Amino acid sequence: MNFSSKLLENAVEEFSKLPGVGKKTALRLVLHLLKSTSAEVHQFSNSLTTLKDNIKYCEKCHNISDEVICEICSAPKRDNSIICVVEDTRDVMAIENTHQFQGLYHVLNGLISPMDGVGPGDLTIESLVKRVQHEDVQEVIFALSANMEGDTTIFYLHKKLKDFNIKISTIARGIAFGGEIEYADEITLGRSIATRVPYENTLIR
Ligand SMILES: [Zn+2]
């Protein structure tokens, strides 16, 4: 691309670093912002820097939060005895939308993926083990995507948790292999939580 302005080129460069945004889309977005008022552009950039500077991760479940302990963890109505383990905040949002789950979450912040250099130590697994040890947890549900990384992560977590006196289950795979949880429709996802199965039953013997 031949830019008529270095400033324009820099802005396009930044936008095209975003996932799924190519140079053409980046240019379209930047030109759109350029047509907006100064106040609008400042509001746009402020919301991003304020987000980055002020966002917290819940000390308990590691979900993105405005407070040290997130709204879900601090809600008195939630069932503290069940923890649903998910990859990231998008899954929490998807499951909350189903209104089928009243327990708490644990956000791993990724999945084990040796190909991408992500090992167990990069995730919040130790913190999950501590919660099971010290909190009144009776059941852990794995709600991870049905792909290689999800399966590897579940296998590892199960090894870490199997000696505790808790129920370990996995959401029913109404979600096809390779299916991402965040894309599952609410009814399918809600049902797959309600009809979860003991993890051991899913292992091929
Ligand atoms: Zn929390």
What does the mean pLDDT of the chain come to? 91
CA of 52 to the centre of ligand 1 (A): 18
CA of 93 to the centre of ligand 1 (A): 13
> Can you tell me the mean pLDDT for 9-27?
96
Quote the pLDDT of residue 202. Answer: 74
pLDDT at 182 over 80: no
pLDDT at 177 over 50: no
114-147 confidence digits (pLDDT tens): 999 999 999 999 999 999 999 999 999 999 988 8
CA of 87 to the centre of ligand 1 (A): 14
Is the distance from CB of 156 to CB of 119 less than 8 angstroms?
no
57-94 confidence digits (pLDDT tens): 999 999 999 999 999 999 999 999 999 999 999 999 99
Annotation: CATH topology of 77-202: Dna Topoisomerase Vi A Subunit; Chain: A, domain 2 (3.40.1360)
Name the band, by pLDDT with cuts 50, 70 and 90, for residue 195. confident
- The single-letter code of the amino acid at 33 is L
Q: Which residue has the tokens 């795979």?
A: 173
Ion ligand 1, residues whose Cβ is below 5 A away? 58, 60-61, 63, 70, 73
Q: In a 10 Å sphere around its CB, with 0-12 CB exposed, 13-18 middle and 19+ buried, how is residue 156 labelled? A: middle
CA of 125 to the centre of ligand 1 (A): 15
Instruction: Please report, for the chain, how many H helices and E strands are present, in that order.
Output: 8, 7
CA of 59 to the centre of ligand 1 (A): 7
CA of 202 to the centre of ligand 1 (A): 29
Q: How much of the chain exceeds pLDDT 90, in percent? A: 78
Is the distance from CB of 112 to CB of 93 less than 8 angstroms?
no
pLDDT at 17 over 50: yes
* Structural domain boundaries in the chain: 6-54, 77-202
Q: How far apart are the first and last CA of the chain?
A: 57
Quote the pLDDT of residue 178. Answer: 52
CA of 106 to the centre of ligand 1 (A): 8
- What CATH architecture does domain 6-54 belong to? Orthogonal Bundle (1.10)
Topology alike, domains 6-54 and 77-202: no
Name the band, by pLDDT with cuts 50, 70 and 90, for residue 179. low
pTM of the predicted protein model: 0.81
CA of 107 to the centre of ligand 1 (A): 9
Name the band, by pLDDT with cuts 50, 70 and 90, for residue 164. very high
97-116 confidence digits (pLDDT tens): 988 899 999 999 999 999 99
Check residues 120 and 202 and name the one with the higher pLDDT.
120
- The single-letter code of the amino acid at 26 is A
- The single-letter code of the amino acid at 95 is I
> Can you tell me the mean pLDDT for 1-10?
94
CA of 149 to the centre of ligand 1 (A): 24
pLDDT at 188 over 80: no
Long-range Cβ contacts of 46-50 (<8 Å, 24+ apart): none
Is the distance from CB of 50 to CB of 108 less than 8 angstroms?
no
